[in-house]
């Protein structure tokens, strides 16, 4: 049985590069690295956001479906993408899905976002049909980030958030808001190959 497991892991590792490289990701500049923690500078980016009230797991699932419907064609121009492993573009003008999907919570409300491709502007993005989807620009910012693999359950998110908070406190870095959770992989990705992050905006 062990050789079957080893074969599955090896196959997943082989596919890991193509899966990640096929998905556009937001660009950033790494200012500093300490172990699994980085300080990054992000330029302005566009996001599609929906706000969901409830438990985190249910909120990310509901928010994902709402915004996925928008990029799959629930918009005034009916522009679509086809989901593959994880994304491929169809012929014609499309919105390509990017990684990561991010989630942020305040007072029981979770802001679930998809990062929009860099080729778009607010003027060229199609308008959502669903009023629950909002297009907006996120200003350029500096963030502290901790990266980890595995399943991003409540305990794992809490543990890594506390580790990031300890780093900020030790460095006397000022957080500017609640943490954001970022998930980079489709749900069928093996836990050891997943990329998850906790991000906190910090003062420069």
- What is the tens place of the pLDDT at every residue in 46-88? 888 888 888 888 888 888 889 889 988 899 888 763 332 222 1
Please tell me the predicted confidence (pLDDT) of residue 54: 82
Q: Give CA torsion, residues 24, 62, 113, 193, to 10 deg.
A: -40
Residue 87 belongs to domain with CATH number: 3.20.80.10
* Whole-angstrom distance, CA of residue 114 vs CA of residue 11: 28
Average pLDDT, the chain: 80
Give how many domains the chain has, as a whole number: 1
Name residue 199's beta-bridge partners: 145, 180
- Whether the CB-CB separation of 148 and 158 falls below 8 Å is answered with no
What domain range is 60 assigned to?
1-204
């Amino acid at each position: 049985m062990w050789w079957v497991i080893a074969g599955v892991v090896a196959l997943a590792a082989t596919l890991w590069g193509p899966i990640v490289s096929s998905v556009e990701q937001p660009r950033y500049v790494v200012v500093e690295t300490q172990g699994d923690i980085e300080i990054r500078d992000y330029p302005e980016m566009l996001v599609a956001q929906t706000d969901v009230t409830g438990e985190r797991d249910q909120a990310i699932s509901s928010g994902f479906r709402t915004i996925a419907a928008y990029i799959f064609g629930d918009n005034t121009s009916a522009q679509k993408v086809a989901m593959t492993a994880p994304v491929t573009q169809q012929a014609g003008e499309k919105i390509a899905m990017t990684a990561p999907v991010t989630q942020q919570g305040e007072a029981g409300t979770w802001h679930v976002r998809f990062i929009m491709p860099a080729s778009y502007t607010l003027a060229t993005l199609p308008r959502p049909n669903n009023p629950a989807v909002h297009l907006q620009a996120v200003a350029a910012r500096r963030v502290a980030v901790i990266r980890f693999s595995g399943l991003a359950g409540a305990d794992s998110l809490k543990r890594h958030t506390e580790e990031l908070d300890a780093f900020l406190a030790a460095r006397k870095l000022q957080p500017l808001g609640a943490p954001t959770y970022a998930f980079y992989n489709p749900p069928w990705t093996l836990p050891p190959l997943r990329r998850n992050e906790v991000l906190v905006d910090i003062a420069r």
